[in-house]
Amino acid sequence: MNQDKIELLENQFMGIGDVKGFSFRKLAETAKRYLYEVKKYGSIHFEVIDRIKVPLCLDFANRIYSETDFKETYPKSSLFGTHGWNYHTQESAIKKLNEDESR
């Protein structure tokens, strides 16, 4: 039986694009979501994100994507509210992280 290969999100990384300068550190995970601590200029908040799997691009010019190799991606800001959520406290974020986990 052939298993898909999935490149998981990193435990720590620096933001790019509209989150340039933000540092992200994974605090916890479930089968469906991740919890990251997000820092910028000494300010800290918490983000809970759904695990989003996309196929790896094999040829950008011709838009050819793998059928067996995938990677997880952090949701873009436009997906917050449906696939990502911001919290001021870690306790609130943990509640969201564990929400719907039994389904």
At residue 60, the pLDDT reads 86
Q: In what order do the strands lie in the sheet with 5-7?
A: 5-7, 64-73, 52-59
**Predicted confidence band at 1 (pLDDT cuts at 50, 70, 90)?**
very low
Mean pLDDT of 9-32: 94
Given a cut of 80, whether residue 89 has pLDDT beyond it is yes
End-to-end CA distance of the chain: 26
The residue that leads in pLDDT, 57 or 23, is 23
pLDDT of residue 12: 97
Are the C-beta atoms of residues 40 and 22 closer than 8 Å to each other?
yes
pTM listed for this prediction: 0.86
CA 78 vs CA 18, 31, 39, 81, 82: distances in Å: 11, 23, 20, 8, 9
Indicate the average pLDDT of the chain: 91
